């Protein structure tokens, strides 16, 4: 049977995404039922870029499924520092593990990884490209909080140029009915043209704006993002743009009562800590949802069958 990878969220059909979210719901309801589902299986987490949530939630998910974890969080401590290629590293690790989650600063590295070995590869973030397992956590959060994925009015705010979580979530939501998009960013960090063309091609309604204040009353979901220092070549540009949007209690007071605030995290100061107490703040729920949906993802790619 051919192996499955997850490089972009569109590697899964909409039905498969929905089934994975259903499986995550069942895991949350009855975690003990799945506690040995990955006994004797190993996950390799290969992180060439820093991470807190993604790496540790994959690792925690695998341990809770009864499996084991190997890997690295600093490629400089491995033979990568001697010049080993992604291709060779993946071929080697596939001798030791059953499934790989890889994060890399270069766009396309996860695709190369998947084509270098015969075990499933999960893209845990490749440069400013894609972050599909975050997208699954985001979709689960929207579905749990709003009860649907169709007919959502969602605003993406901040760094839409380099924000891989934004790119992947747009790819996913374009496949649901009647989703309307607000793209809120400074001129220098607008969504890449090829994604806007994709949105137009899919018949989606989208609005590009600089104003968070004007957009917020319209939204069901506000998805805030960090301006990512590590993606800038020029520190001056980063300093000039980093505080363009700061969500505080005053701005949130103009939002609908049932709007939710999401953020893939880490945040720097684009959401004031005082917002955390507002019942609409769901970014720490996103983190929690990430663990069970990654369990569902691991089980699906390992072709585990439910009794």
Binding region for ligand CP (CB under 6 A): 51-54, 125, 131, 134, 264-266
Minimum distance from residue 4 beta carbon to ligand CP (Å): 22
In the chain the first and final C-alpha atoms are separated, in Å, by 20
Quote the tokens at residue 251: 């701005």
Nearest to 127 by CA among 168, 89, 90, 94: 168
CB of 264 vs ligand CP, minimal distance in Å: 4
Pick 146 or 263: Cβ nearer ligand CP: 263
The whole-angstrom separation of Cα 49 and Cα 95 is: 23
Nearer to ligand CP, 67 or 125 (CB): 125
φ/ψ of residue 93, rounded to 5: -65, -30
Look at the block and give the residue holding tokens 């705010």.
Answer: 157
**How far apart are CB 92 and ligand CP at their closest, in Å?**
24
H or E element: which one contains 122? Answer: strand 121-126
Please say which residue, 5 or 59, places its beta carbon nearer to ligand CP: 59
CA dihedral sign of residues 299, 294, 166, 125 = negative
Q: Among residues 94 and 228, whose Cβ is nearest to ligand CP?
A: 228
Nearer Cβ to ligand CP (54/289): 54
Residue given tokens 């390799």 in the structure block = 44
Residue 174 to residue 200: CA distance in whole angstroms: 10
User: Smallest distance from the beta carbon of 125 to ligand CP, in angstroms?
Assistant: 6
Cα–Cα dist 60/57, whole Å: 5
Nearer to ligand CP, 124 or 302 (CB): 124
Minimal distance, residue 154 CB to ligand CP, in Å: 17
| Least CB distance to ligand CP at residue 100 (A) | 16
| Residue tagged 């006994």 (tokens) | 39
């Amino acid at each position: 049977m051919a192996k499955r990878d997850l490089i972009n969220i569109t590697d899964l059909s909409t039905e498969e995404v929905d089934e994975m979210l259903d499986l995550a719901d069942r895991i949350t309801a009855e975690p003990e039922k799945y506690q040995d589902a990955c006994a004797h299986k190993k996950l390799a987490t290969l992180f060439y870029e820093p991470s807190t949530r993604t790496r540790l939630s994959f690792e925690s998910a695998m341990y809770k499924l009864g499996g084991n974890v190997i890997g690295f969080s600093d490629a400089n401590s491995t033979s990568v520092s001697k010049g080993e290629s992604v291709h060779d590293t993946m071929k080697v690790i596939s001798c030791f593990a059953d499934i790989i989650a890889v994060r890399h600063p270069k766009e396309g590295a996860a695709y190369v990884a998947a084509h270098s070995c015969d075990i499933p590869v999960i893209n845990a973030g490749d440069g400013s490209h894609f972050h599909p397992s975050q997208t699954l956590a985001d979709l689960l959060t929207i579905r749990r909080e709003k009860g649907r994925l169709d007919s959502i009015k969602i605003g993406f705010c901040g760094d839409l140029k380099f924000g891989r979580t934004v790119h992947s979530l747009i790819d996913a939501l374009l496949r649901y009915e009647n989703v309307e998009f607000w793209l809120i960013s400074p001129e220098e960090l607008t969504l890449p043209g090829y994604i806007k063309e994709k949105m137009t091609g899919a018949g989606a309604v989208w609005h590009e704006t600089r104003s968070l204040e004007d957009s917020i009353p319209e939204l069901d979901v506000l998805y805030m993002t960090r301006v990512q220092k590590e993606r800038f070549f020029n520190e001056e540009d980063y300093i000039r743009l980093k505080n363009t949007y700061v969500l505080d209690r005053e701005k949130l007071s103009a939002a609908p009562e049932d709007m939710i605030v999401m953020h893939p995290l880490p945040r720097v100061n684009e959401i004031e800590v005082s917002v955390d107490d507002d019942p609409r703040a769901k970014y720490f729920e996103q983190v929690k949802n990430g663990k069970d949906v990654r369990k569902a993802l691991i089980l699906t790619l390992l072709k585990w069958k439910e009794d």
